[in-house]
A and B are shown apart, each in its own frame.
Chain A
C-alpha cells in the first residue's frame, strides 16, 4: 500500500506553497476584487513559466509532464492561495483538447495553454441550470457558431473558448472559437466572486472549428469529470486555508479572559472542519490516483471527490467567518475571499445535488455490472 503522492510531487507541492505565499498574497487577489485588474497576470505568467498549467500535458505537447497527480498537488496550493487566475478554466480546456482535439490541434493549442500565453475558457451553460444536453441550444452551421453562453468563467479574459454546441446533425460536440475574432460579443457579468471573471458570450456566426476526436454528451461529461478532480483539490486547498485561518485567529483572540480557542464551542467547530477536510482529502487522493491511472472507476471517484470537497470547503469557509465574529464579516478580512470562492467552485461544474445524483447513478451502474 502506497497511498501517498510520490516524494518528488510532495516537494513540488511544498515549493508551490512557498512560491505562492511569497508571490501571490491576498493583496494581489484584492486588486482583482477591487476591479483594478481583470486577473492576477503576474501570478499567471509566473506559474505558466514554472510549468504548472501544463502539469498534465505531455512534454512533447509543451507540458511539463508531471502528470495528473502533479496537477492535483499544484491545484491544492492554488486553491489555498485563493489565487485570482483562470486556472480551473485551463484545466477544463486542457482536458477537452486532450480528449477531443486531433493531433494537429493538440500540437497547435496545448503549448500556449501550458505556458499561459493563451487563456482558455469552457463555454457550456446557457443560463440557469445544471449541465444537461437539453440545455445546449448553441449550434454550428457551415463552420459558424450561433448562440449565447452564460455564465462563462473567465470568458471576459480568455483568448479562446472551447464551446459545447450542436453540429449540423443536431449532435453535441466541442468547438474551438477565437474570442477576438468576428461574430463574438462579450459582456461582463457581475459575480458573487469578483476575483474570477464571469462573462456572457454572444456568438453571431463566429468561426468555429470542431474538436473531432470525441463527440456527444459523453465527451462533455468526461471533460467535467476529469476536470472535477484538480478542481476538487483547489477546493480542499481552500478548505485547508480556512481551517488554518480560523485556528490562528481563535488562538490569538481573547474573550472572557481566555483565548476563544479554549472554548469547546469553538474547539468542536474546528474539529468538525478538520474531519470534513480529512475525509475530502482522502476521497480526492483516491480520485487523483484514478485520474492519473485512468482507472475504470474514475467516474465514481471523481464524483465522490467533488461531493466531499464541495462539502468541506462550504463548511470551512462559512465557519471560518463565524469563528472570526464581526471581523469575519468585513471587507477587510480575507474570510470572504474564501467564502465567495467556495461557492464559485462548487457551482462551476454543476452544483452539489447534481454531482450527488451522478455519484449514485454511477454506483447503480457499477452494482448492476457486478450483479450481471
Chain B
C-alpha cells in the first residue's frame, strides 16, 4: 500500500494546485466561517468570476468530453481537483447542481441541439440551473409526482408545483420531471423537460428553513408553455432520464460539510468545565470523541478505498455508498453534544460569544436537512440494502396500476 499519486496524477495535482494558488485564497479559520453567509448577489458575482477562471483553465468540467467543453479527464482527476480546491476559500453552491446533475443529464439524454444550446454557457458560468423533481406529495417517492405536462400541438403546457428547489430564485434553467400520462403506471408516465425559469407561468417562492436561511424554494407552474424541442429523452422515459440526475445528486450531496471530529476535539480541549478542567478530561467526553474519531477516519479511509479504485480506472465499489448516511447523523450528534458541553450557554447563537462563531449551533439547525436532502437516511438504507446487500425490494401496492388510481392521502 502507498498513498502517493501516480506520476500522471502528481502532474495533474501540481497543475491544479498552481492554478488555485494563483487565483484563490487559502482556507483559514476566518474565511471558512464566512462561507454560506454571503448575500445572494455577492455570492453570485463571486461564483461567476470564479467559474470563468475555472473554465478558462480547464477545471470547470474535468470529466466531460472535449466536444462538450470538458477536459476529457478521468474521475480520479476530478477527485484530485476537489481535494486541492478544498484547501481554498472559493465560492461554492451555485453551479454544482447544473454542472454536477442537470447538464450531465442533458448531455447523456439530450439532442445535439440541446447540447449546443445549453452545455457551453453552463460551463462558462453564464447560466445557472436548478432541479425540479420533488413535490409536496412526492418526496422520497419522487415518481409519485403530479405536475402535469399536456401536449398541445408542437408545445407542452405545464401546470403544478415543485418544492425544495435549491437556487430556483436565481436559476436560468430548470430540469423538470413532469407527468405526461396519468393513465400509465406510475414510473411509465413521466417525461423530462428543460424549462426557462424566467418565463411567464413560473413563480418562485422562497422557503424559510429552520436555520432561518432560505436556500430552497417552491416553484409554481401556471400554463407554462414550452416547445417539444425542450423535451429531454422520449415521452414516458422521464424516470430513466431522472435516475441519471439522482445518482449524481447523491455523489454531490455526500460531500457536504458541517461540524466534524476536528471541531469537537478542539472545543473539548479549549472549553473549561464547571470543575475547572477542560472538557476533554471527562471520561464520558473522551468516549464520545473516540467514537466520532473512528467514524470520521473510517469514512476518510473508505474514500481512500474508492479513490484507489478510481485511480485504477475502476468504478467505485459498494463501500462508497455509506458516506452521506454516516456523515449527516455524525454531524448532528457532534453539534448536539458540543452544545451539551456549553450548558445553558449552548443556546446562545450570538457569533461574538458562542464558541467557533456559533458553528455548532448553526450545524444543529442545518443538520436535519442533510439527513433528508438527496435521499433520506431511510431511502439511503433501502438503496444500500437492495443494491449492495441484494435484499428484496419493498412490497409495492402502487406497481402496475394506472397512476390516476393510486390513493393519494391527505398530506
A5 to B300, CA, bound (A): 17
Task: Identify which of A55-63, A134-142, A198-206, A271-279 touches chain B.
Answer: A271-279
Residues from chain B with a CB closer than 8 A to the CB of A304 are 293-294, 297
Does B298 reach chain A (CB closer than 8 Å)? yes
Inter-chain CB contacts under 8 Å: number: 151
Whether the pair B378, A278 counts as a contact (CB closer than 8 A) is no
Query: Which of A78-86, A97-105, A161-169, A257-265 has 4 or more CB atoms under 8 Å from chain B?
Result: A257-265
Q: Which residues of A contact B289 (CB under 8 A)?
A: 356, 360, 363
B residues in contact with A288, CB < 8 Å: 1
Judging by beta carbons under 8 Å apart, are A267 and B280 in contact?
no
Judge whether B1 and A279 touch: CB under 8 Å.
Answer: no
Q: Is the CB of A3 within 8 A of B298?
A: no
The CA-CA distance from A356 to B295 in the complex, in Å, is 13
Does A270 lie within 8 Å of B391, measured CB to CB?
A: yes
Please provide the chain A residues from 274 to 308 with a CB less than 8 Å away from any CB of chain B in the complex: 274-275, 278-283, 285-286, 288-289, 292, 303-304, 307-308
Interface residues of A in 20-51 (CB under 8 A from B): none
Given A4-B1, A264-B394, A279-B299, A307 and B294 touching (CB < 8 A)? yes
Contact with A along B77-96 (1 / 0, CB 8 A): 00000000000000000000
Query: Of residues 294 to 348 in B, which have CB atoms within 8 Å of A's CB atoms?
Result: 294-295, 297-302, 304-305, 307-308, 311, 319, 322, 325-326
Interface residue B30 (Cβ < 8 Å from any Cβ of A): no
Assembled-state Cα–Cα distance A164/B265 (Å): 35
A95 and B326 alpha carbons, distance in the complex (Å): 35
Q: Does A364 contact B (CB under 8 A)?
A: yes
When the two chains form their complex, are residues B308 and A308 in contact, meaning their CB atoms are under 8 A apart?
Answer: no
Q: Mark A347-365, 1 if CB is under 8 A from B, else 0.
A: 0000001011101100110
B308 touches A1 (CB 8 A): yes
B397 contacts the other chain (Cβ, under 8 Å)? no
Contact with A along B192-219 (1 / 0, CB 8 A): 0000000000000000000000000000
Note all chain B residues with C-beta closer than 8 A to A3: 1, 3, 301, 304-305, 307-308
Tell whether A282 pairs with B301 under 8 Å between CB atoms, given A4-B308, A363-B293.
yes
CB of A360 within 8 A of CB of B290, answer yes
Chain B residue contacts of A357, Cβ below 8 A = 283, 286-287, 290
Which of B168-176, B221-229, B381-389 interfaces with chain A? B381-389
Known: A1-B311, A274-B384, A274-B389. A282 touches B394 (CB 8 A): no
Given contacts A2-B308, A258-B395, contact A271 B385 (CB under 8 A): yes
Question: Chain A residues with Cβ under 8 A from B280's Cβ?
Answer: 360, 364
Task: Mark out the residues of chain B between 179 and 203 whose CB falls within 8 Å of any chain A CB in the assembled complex.
Answer: none
Give the Cβ gap from B119 to chain A, nearest Cβ, in Å: 31
Report Cα–Cα, A258/B291, bound state, in Å: 37
Residue A251 interfacial (CB < 8 Å)? yes
User: In the bound complex, do residue A275 and residue B394 qualify as a contact, i.e. CB atoms below 8 Å apart?
Assistant: no
On whether the beta carbons of B308 and A279 are closer than 8 Å, the reply is no
Q: State whether the Cβ of B34 lies closer than 8 Å to any Cβ in chain A.
A: no
Among A268, A270, A282, A359, which residue has its beta carbon within 8 angstroms of that of B290? Answer: A359
Q: Which residues of A contact B2 (CB under 8 A)?
A: 1-2
Closest CB in chain B relative to A176 CB, distance in Å: 34
**Contact present for A4 and B294 (CB under 8 Å):** no
- Considering only residues 239-257 of chain A, those with a C-beta below 8 Å from chain B are 247, 250-251
Known: A264-B382, A364-B280. A282 touches B287 (CB 8 A): no
Complex: A283 Cα to B304 Cα, angstroms: 11
Distance in angstroms between the alpha carbons of A321 and B395 in the assembled complex: 25
**Contact between B391 and A267, CB atoms less than 8 A apart:** yes
B408 in the interface (beta carbon within 8 A): no
Could you say which residues of chain A place their CB within 8 Å of the CB of B35?
none
Residue with the highest number of chain B CB atoms closer than 10 Å, among A292, A353, A356: A356
A9 to chain B, nearest CB (A): 10
Is the CB of B393 closer than 8 A to any CB of chain A?
Answer: yes
Known: A4-B305, A283-B297. A270 touches B385 (CB 8 A): yes
Cα–Cα, bound, A292→B2 (Å): 11
Known A250-B391, A267-B385, A363-B265; contact A356-B1, beta-carbon cutoff 8 A: no
**Residues from chain A with Cβ under 8 Å of B392 in the complex:** 251, 258-259, 261-262
A250-B391, A278-B319 known; A267-B304 Cβ under 8 A: no
Q: When A279-B298, A279-B326, A286-B301 are in contact, do A271 and B389 touch as well, CB less than 8 Å?
A: yes
Chain A residues with Cβ below 8 Å from B308 are: 1-4
Contact of A356 among B291, B381, B390, B395 (CB under 8 A): B291
Contact B302 A279 (CB under 8 A): yes
Shortest Cβ distance from B377 into A: residue: A268
Nearest residue (CB) in B for A359 is B290
Across-interface contacts of B311 in A (CB, < 8 A): 1-2
What separation, in Å, do the CA atoms of A281 and B299 have in the docked complex? Answer: 10
B305 near A264 (CB under 8 angstroms)? no
> B326 — which chain A residues lie within 8 A by C-beta?
275, 279
With an 8 A cutoff between CB atoms, is B353 at the interface?
no
Q: Which 9 A-B pairs have the closest CB atoms?
A: A279-B298, A356-B290, A282-B301, A267-B385, A3-B304, A262-B392, A308-B294, A282-B302, A360-B286
Beyond contacts A1-B307, A4-B308: 16 other A-B pairs, Cβ-Cβ < 8 A, are A1-B9, A3-B301, A267-B386, A271-B389, A274-B322, A274-B389, A275-B384, A278-B298, A282-B297, A283-B298, A283-B301, A292-B1, A353-B283, A356-B289, A367-B265, A367-B269
